């Protein structure tokens, strides 16, 4: 049984007050999430759904930290007017990850990531998949316009979600993430992507996004790769300033 529970606490930032705090409950598990509902919401209409996965620094259970990056873009008045959509920010638990991956240090102390998406989904990934499935079944969600994006750990989760749910999403925008290039054969021809990465990222090297983009192209997919010279891990800053990001995103239908 799926349950969505309204929570009382909200972020102090007035702009983020627009995101309603809820809990997604499935059996013994609970995942906090925030939802932005379009102005003048009409339950007889159908709206696009955007799911955004935060990075490792925003994990927890306060149902606030996940709004640090990206929430202000989708809640801008001009964006809400031009692109009315439901926007979901789920929150991953502190001891969990969106993707099945192993993080290690190389001989030169640089971080290395190994991805295992074929393994059983972790609790956070499992709960997000259930939440998306539930929301997609609502009469007011346009199933042909469900979009997924995320940054860092969330970018990795985005790639894994595309592998696990290749027939769900109309477009995806992973930022400073990575994944297993072999999985792209499952979604390359089904989901167009715009991938973002800082060329000087010391946390997640840009080679991970480059490898995914190459694999998507090799498997016949459509992908844009934006690499920013001189930008480190916080590639979301220039990415969210891309004037074409939202027009590109909302132009896609499944």
The answer to whether the beta carbons of residues 207 and 238 sit under 8 Å apart is no
Torsion from C-alpha of 213, 107, 117, 93, nearest 10 degrees: -110
CB 22 within 8 A of CB 88: no
The pLDDT score that the predictor gives to residue 117 is 85
- The list of the chain residues with pLDDT below 50 reads 1-12
Predicted local confidence at residue 104, as pLDDT: 82
- Residue 7 has a pLDDT of 39
Residue 108: predicted pLDDT: 61
List Cα–Cα distances, 212 to 69, 175, 181, 223, in angstroms. 23, 12, 5, 10
> Do 80 and 39 meet the contact criterion of CB atoms below 8 Å apart?
yes
pLDDT digits (tens, 9 = 90+) for 164-176: 999 999 999 999 9
Average pLDDT over the chain, rounded to whole? 92
pTM comes to 0.93
Asked if residues 158 and 209 have their Cβ atoms less than 8 Å apart, the reply is: no
Residue-level pLDDT at 107: 57
pLDDT at 79: 97
pLDDT of res. 9: 39
What pLDDT, on a 0 to 100 scale, did the predictor assign at position 118? 86
The pLDDT of residue 6: 40
Cα angle value 36/21/155 (rounded, 5°): 65
Domains and CATH numbers, the chain: 2-250 (3.40.50.1820)
**Rounded Cα gap, residues 6 and 161, in angstroms:** 26
Q: If we measure between CA atoms, which residue out of 213, 232, 230 comes closest to residue 172?
A: 213
What does the alpha-carbon distance between residue 113 and residue 198 come to, in Å, rounded to a whole number? 17
The per-residue pLDDT for 191 is: 98
């Amino acid at each position: 049984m799926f349950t969505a529970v309204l929570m009382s606490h909200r972020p102090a930032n007035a702009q983020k007050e627009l995101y309603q705090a809820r809990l997604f409950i499935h059996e013994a598990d609970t995942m906090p999430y925030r939802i932005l509902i379009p102005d003048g919401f009409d339950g007889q209409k159908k709206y696009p759904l955007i799911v955004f996965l935060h990075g490792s620094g925003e994990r927890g259970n306060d149902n606030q930290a996940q709004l640090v990056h990206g929430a202000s873009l989708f809640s801008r008045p001009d964006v809400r007017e031009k692109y009315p959509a439901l926007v979901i920010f789920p929150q991953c638990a502190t001891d969990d990850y969106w993707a099945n991956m192993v993080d290690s240090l190389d001989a030169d102390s640089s971080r290395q990531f190994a991805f295992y998406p074929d393994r059983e989904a972790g609790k956070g990934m499992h709960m997000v998949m259930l939440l998306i499935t539930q929301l997609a079944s609502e009469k007011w969600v346009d199933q042909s316009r469900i979009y997924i994006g995320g940054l860092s750990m969330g970018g990795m989760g985005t790639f894994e979600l595309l592998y696990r749910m290749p027939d769900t999403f109309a477009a995806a925008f992973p930022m400073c993430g990575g994944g297993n290039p072999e999985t792209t054969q499952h979604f390359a021809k089904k989901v167009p992507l715009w991938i973002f990465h800082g060329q000087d990222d010391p946390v997640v090297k840009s080679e991970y996004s480059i490898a995914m983009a190459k694999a998507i192209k090799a498997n016949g997919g459509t992908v844009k790769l934006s690499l920013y010279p001189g930008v480190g891990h916080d590639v979301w800053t220039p990415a969210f300033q891309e004037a074409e990001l939202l027009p590109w995103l909302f132009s896609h239908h499944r």
